[in-house]
Each structure stands twice: as structure tokens, then as C-alpha cells.
Amino acid sequence: MTEPRLCYVPCPGAAAKTNAPDHTGHRMAYWQWGDPANPHVVVCVHGLTRQGRDFDVLARSLSRFARVICPDVVGRGQSDWLQDPQAYQLPTYAGDMLALLAQVHGEAPISTLDWLGTSMGGLIGMALLGTLGLPLPVPVRRLVLNDIGPTLDVAALQRIGSYLGKTGRFDTLQQAADAMWAISSSFGPHTPAQWLALSQHMVRPLVAGEPALTLHYDPALAAAFGTFTAESAAAGEAALWALYDQITAQTLLLRGAESDLLSAATAQAMTQRGPRARLVEFAGVGHAPTFVADDQVATVVGFLQP
């Protein structure tokens, strides 16, 4: 399969509006690659303002040996937006992923489960793997954390907050791609064609049927993100380390060598405690690797293949 299939899973929690008939919650979209009966499932979850098509290049490689599931976290991509902006939080996302895994497992039983999370997707993974007693179909075998850890640099969070929610108006896809590159150059070197491919799923029509474009996500994401303080950040850090220390899956930690969100010191600490992650750094890349470059894809494929 060279293109994914778009699927949906019903989740609890009211949507601002939904196209799902007879459903009072919200729908989360996800993209499925590979053999839909393959019992080896890899779930790839994107960062804060991204969406599931970020993983197209990687998913094509992984789908040679696994069923690859790439959700659009609620409020992004093809998923519903939430009625309550304050619900754009880790507990909501983790609950949605449990619903997703239950549906995928019900369609074709999972025997091997792996998780890859970029930034926010890694935090969701830590919440699922580090919380005891959650109804996962099977234990996660291998975990890939992409440029994320329990300690997050506050200046980097403020940088992200400075543009979050400003979804803009663009006359062309290229104009949108250029605007996104201005705030995303830390992703590392990309050819113009690679960046345009990553950008094409990042926009939606500003008004249905009209040519003007805007970014795909709910601007209300900024409401929940903007509530963090130094005190809440410290409490969150302690909770995340507690989750990380509970993880037993074999763990690979990827870091952009120039990342401003995941420090070298935090990455080293993650190799010494909890699952004692194996650390791989990519030179010339900040936050966060995009799995377009061959070396990044090969590193993940080598870790997750049977």
C-alpha cells in the first residue's frame, strides 16, 4: 500500500461540531498503512500542531512489516474539534488513544505493539506506558521518543506558545509552506520538495469551497497551552518523570543535536533511569526530526522491525 486509508474512531468528550451521525462525543481520525490484518502494529503520534500525515515517508517503510496507525490527535487534521478548549490536555489524548487501540485490536488482533511519539506524541506515549493498569490490548514492546522527555525547556515552550493559535490566511500552499518554514527551520535540512510534501496536509480551506487556506488545527489549542506557569511546569515535570520511571518497554530516544526543547542533560538522564533509553542524536537538527531523511528512517526501522 503506497497511500493510507482514512479511518475514524468515536471517543468520549463533546465536539464543537461533528460529522458523525448519532454520536455525542467526538471522532478522532487516523491513517492506516499496510496490511490491515497484520498483528504487528506501530502507532505513530505527531507533535503539538502537526497531524498524522507527517509520517508518510516513515510509514511507507514500516508498512513493509507492520500495520502502521497514524492518528490526527483531536483538534488537528481530519479529527473533530473539541467543544471545551481546556480539554486539549494529555488525559483527553491518552483516553482517545485507548479507544483507538481497542478499535484497531477489535478489527484484527494485535500481537506486537510499538509506539513512536514526536514531542507531544511522546508525552502521550509516556502517559500510556507509565500508568499502571490501563487496558492496552497488549503491552508495548518498543517505544520511540522523538525529541521529548520529562523535563521541557521553558524558553522553548514559550517559543512554541508565541505562534500557537495563529493559523493565518494563505493564498497558496507555497505561501503557507514558506510561513511554516519560518517557524520550523529547526526541523533541519529539507529540500523544497520535501518541505512542500510535509506542508500539503497542514492546511485546510479557510472557507469551504474557497481557495484561501489556513492551518489545519483548532486555534483554541492555545487556550490550554497558555495556562502553564513555572509552578505547573515543575509539577508536570515531576509527574512525567514518575511516568517515565514506570516504563518497561525497550526505549529508543531520538534527539536533534541542536534541540532547544530536550536538553542534552535530560537526554543523558533518560539513559540512566526508567527504561534506560538508548540515545541517538542527529547532527544539524533541532526540535524535532521529521523522519524524511534516510538516516532517521533507517534508525527507526532498524529498531522496530521484528
Residue of 239 and 22 predicted with greater confidence: 239
Q: pLDDT category, 23, cuts 50, 70, 90?
A: low
Give the per-residue pLDDT at 21. 60
Give the per-residue pLDDT at 158. 84
Give the per-residue pLDDT at 160. 87
* pLDDT, averaged across the chain: 94
- Give dist(CA 201, CA 199) in Å, integer: 6
**pLDDT higher than 60, residue 114:** yes
**pLDDT higher than 90, residue 140:** yes
- Give dist(CA 13, CA 275) in Å, integer: 33
Instruction: Decide: 43 and 55 in contact? Cβ < 8 Å.
Output: no
Q: pLDDT category, 18, cuts 50, 70, 90?
A: low
Mean pLDDT of 177-198: 95
> Tens of pLDDT along 214-236?
999 999 999 888 766 667 778 88
pTM as predicted: 0.96
Q: Above pLDDT 90, what percent of the chain?
A: 85
- 199-216 residues labelled b (16+ CB within 10 A) or e (exposed): bebbbeeeeeeeeebbbb
Q: pLDDT category, 138, cuts 50, 70, 90?
A: very high
Extract the C-alpha cell encoding 136.
Answer: 492496552
Q: How many CA atoms lie within 13 A of 4 on its CB side?
A: 26
